[in-house]
Amino acid sequence: MKLQNNNFTIYEVEEIKKDFSKLLEEDKVVLDLENITKIDMSAMQLLIALKKSCEESKKEFEIKNLKQEVLSSFEITGIAYVLGV
Protein backbone atom coordinates (compact mmCIF):
# COMPACT_ATOMS: atom_id res chain seq x y z
CA MET A 1 0.00 0.00 0.00
CA LYS A 2 1.41 3.34 -1.02
CA LEU A 3 0.35 6.25 1.16
CA GLN A 4 -0.52 9.13 -1.14
CA ASN A 5 -0.56 12.09 1.23
CA ASN A 6 2.62 13.99 2.10
CA ASN A 7 1.58 14.10 5.75
CA PHE A 8 0.92 11.12 7.98
CA THR A 9 -0.32 12.84 11.12
CA ILE A 10 -3.23 12.66 13.53
CA TYR A 11 -5.41 14.26 10.87
CA GLU A 12 -4.87 11.40 8.41
CA VAL A 13 -4.64 8.51 10.87
CA GLU A 14 -8.35 7.75 11.11
CA GLU A 15 -8.78 7.54 7.34
CA ILE A 16 -5.64 5.46 6.84
CA LYS A 17 -6.59 3.18 9.73
CA LYS A 18 -9.57 1.95 7.67
CA ASP A 19 -7.23 0.95 4.83
CA PHE A 20 -4.93 -0.89 7.25
CA SER A 21 -7.78 -3.24 8.18
CA LYS A 22 -7.88 -4.36 4.56
CA LEU A 23 -4.11 -4.80 4.51
CA LEU A 24 -4.32 -7.37 7.27
CA GLU A 25 -6.23 -9.64 4.91
CA GLU A 26 -3.06 -9.97 2.78
CA ASP A 27 -0.28 -12.50 3.41
CA LYS A 28 2.34 -9.76 3.46
CA VAL A 29 1.86 -6.14 4.52
CA VAL A 30 4.06 -3.68 2.63
CA LEU A 31 3.79 0.04 3.27
CA ASP A 32 5.36 2.42 0.78
CA LEU A 33 6.06 5.73 2.52
CA GLU A 34 7.78 7.36 -0.46
CA ASN A 35 5.40 10.35 -0.45
CA ILE A 36 5.48 10.92 3.32
CA THR A 37 7.53 13.92 4.42
CA LYS A 38 5.89 14.56 7.79
CA ILE A 39 4.89 12.02 10.43
CA ASP A 40 3.76 12.42 14.02
CA MET A 41 3.46 10.15 17.07
CA SER A 42 -0.13 9.13 16.36
CA ALA A 43 0.93 7.80 12.95
CA MET A 44 3.95 6.06 14.46
CA GLN A 45 1.70 4.43 17.06
CA LEU A 46 -0.57 3.21 14.27
CA LEU A 47 2.43 1.69 12.46
CA ILE A 48 3.50 -0.09 15.65
CA ALA A 49 -0.03 -1.45 16.13
CA LEU A 50 -0.08 -2.65 12.52
CA LYS A 51 3.27 -4.37 12.93
CA LYS A 52 2.09 -6.03 16.14
CA SER A 53 -1.07 -7.25 14.40
CA CYS A 54 1.08 -8.71 11.62
CA GLU A 55 3.31 -10.49 14.12
CA GLU A 56 0.29 -11.95 15.91
CA SER A 57 -1.11 -13.16 12.57
CA LYS A 58 2.31 -14.45 11.45
CA LYS A 59 2.35 -12.10 8.45
CA GLU A 60 5.34 -10.35 7.00
CA PHE A 61 5.56 -6.60 7.61
CA GLU A 62 7.70 -4.21 5.59
CA ILE A 63 8.09 -0.45 5.34
CA LYS A 64 9.87 0.78 2.25
CA ASN A 65 10.97 4.01 0.56
CA LEU A 66 11.43 6.08 3.71
CA LYS A 67 12.56 9.65 3.22
CA GLN A 68 15.42 10.75 5.45
CA GLU A 69 13.24 13.14 7.49
CA VAL A 70 10.82 10.34 8.34
CA LEU A 71 13.63 7.91 9.14
CA SER A 72 15.18 10.55 11.40
CA SER A 73 11.88 10.87 13.28
CA PHE A 74 11.81 7.08 13.69
CA GLU A 75 15.38 7.06 14.97
CA ILE A 76 14.93 9.96 17.40
CA THR A 77 11.91 8.30 18.99
CA GLY A 78 13.43 4.83 19.00
CA ILE A 79 10.66 3.50 16.81
CA ALA A 80 13.07 2.59 14.00
CA TYR A 81 14.19 -0.38 16.08
CA VAL A 82 10.62 -1.42 16.90
CA LEU A 83 9.55 -1.22 13.24
CA GLY A 84 12.71 -2.88 11.97
CA VAL A 85 13.80 -0.06 9.67
Question: Does the residue 16 lie in any domain?
Answer: yes
Residue 71, domain member (yes or no) = yes
pTM of the predicted structure, to 2 decimals: 0.86
Considering its fold, how many domains does the chain have in total?
Answer: 1
Q: Which domain holds residue 70?
A: 7-83
pLDDT digits (tens, 9 = 90+) for 13-49: 888 887 877 888 888 989 999 999 999 999 999 999 9
Residue 59, domain member (yes or no): yes
Long-range contact set of residues 18-25: C-beta below 8 Å, sequence gap at least 24: 20/46, 20/50, 23/50, 24/50, 24/53, 24/54, 24/57, 24/59
pLDDT for 14 equals 82
User: Per-residue pLDDT averaged across 63-71, rounded?
Assistant: 93
CATH number at residue 56: 3.30.750.24
The answer as to whether 2 is a domain residue is no
Decide if 1 is inside a domain.
no
Examine the pLDDT at 6 and tell me if it is beyond 80. yes
- Mean of pLDDT values over 58-76: 92
